[in-house]
A and B are shown apart, each in its own frame.
Chain A
Amino acid sequence: MKFGLLVSEGPYTHQASDSAYQFAVAAIAKGHEVQRVFFYHDGVNNATRLTEPPQDDRHIVNRWSALAAQHKVDLVVCVAAALRRGIKEEVLAPGFRISGLGQLVDSGIKADRLVTFGD
């Protein structure tokens, strides 16, 4: 099955990003495709390479980047939501790209299931 994911909350404060990541890993392991992960609302804060958690904690941003590198998952950050929150090209972690909300709609159209991770 082809999945599209929507992440609506920022990292660490909310579990949404962790759950979305774990869902993506599990889906890929079962042979499904994760067509795209779209980051909206405070979810855009998952994309900044300035993130530096304590060393004994998971690195949510790097984890997404690694997933993109290993499995060609398209990580898309909403441009309007990102600019509002100070997320720009120059702070993007590897594997992320900034684009429009049309990419979320496109996921809804092309994926068999669009799954939301938020509060």
Chain B
Amino acid sequence: MKKFMFVNRKAPYGTIYALESLEVVLITATFDQDVSLVFMDDGVYELAKGQQTKDIGIKNFSPSYRALEGYDVEKLYVDADSLTARGLSEKDLLVPVEVLDSAQMAELMAQQDVVLSF
């Protein structure tokens, strides 16, 4: 078993990276690997509650993050500075996460076998 980390750095809409990252995560989960997700920079918006996409005509895929638990993907980490820089806190997020500072994040990244950044 290898340790796969997916680093999500982009806003959920505007580009397709967040959605296609989620697709890779769900596939990886079926391979019995150790999967963790990181949300940093604008990527923290992917987990924001209350996403309304009707007016931009793009599907709101944020409920999928709630389904991750069903795939045994339970290691979700959020960068503390990215949250505070955007006026967000843990209670604004859709799912339970662990908030880490930069040093803790760096340590976690160093432990991974595969890091994919989207």
Residues of A within 8 A of B (CB): 6, 8, 40-41, 80-81, 100-102, 104-106, 108-109, 114, 116, 118
| Given known A40-B20, A41-B17, A41-B20, contact A105–B27 (CB-CB < 8 A) | yes
- Please state if B116 and A114 are interface contacts (CB–CB under 8 Å): yes
Contact with A along B21-61 (1 / 0, CB 8 A): 00110011011010000000000000000000000000000
- Please state if A108 and B114 are interface contacts (CB–CB under 8 Å): yes
For the residues of B in contact with A, the DSSP-based class is mixed
Q: How far is the CB of A108 from chain B (nearest CB, A)?
A: 4
- Please state if A6 and B116 are interface contacts (CB–CB under 8 Å): yes
- Please state if B27 and A102 are interface contacts (CB–CB under 8 Å): yes
| Given known A114-B116, A116-B116, contact A105–B31 (CB-CB < 8 A) | yes
* B20 CB contacts on chain A under 8 angstroms: 40-41, 80-81
- Please state if A102 and B31 are interface contacts (CB–CB under 8 Å): yes
Q: How far is the CB of A29 from chain B (nearest CB, A)?
A: 25
- Please state if B23 and A80 are interface contacts (CB–CB under 8 Å): yes
Rounded to whole angstroms, the CA-CA distance of A41 and B19 in the bound complex is 10
Closest Cβ neighbor of B117 among chain A residues: A116
Q: How far is the CB of A13 from chain B (nearest CB, A)?
A: 13
- Please state if B33 and A109 are interface contacts (CB–CB under 8 Å): yes
Pick the residue among A40, A105, A118 that contacts B33 (CB under 8 A). Answer: A105
Residues of B within 8 A of A (CB): 2, 4, 16-17, 20, 23-24, 27-28, 30-31, 33, 113-114, 116-118
Pick the residue among A8, A101, A106, A118 that contacts B23 (CB under 8 A). Answer: A101
* A114 CB contacts on chain B under 8 angstroms: 114, 116
* A8 CB contacts on chain B under 8 angstroms: 118
* B33 CB contacts on chain A under 8 angstroms: 105, 108-109
Pick the residue among A40, A81, A109 that contacts B31 (CB under 8 A). Answer: A109
Q: How far is the CB of A117 from chain B (nearest CB, A)?
A: 11
Q: How far is the CB of B18 from chain A (nearest CB, A)?
A: 11
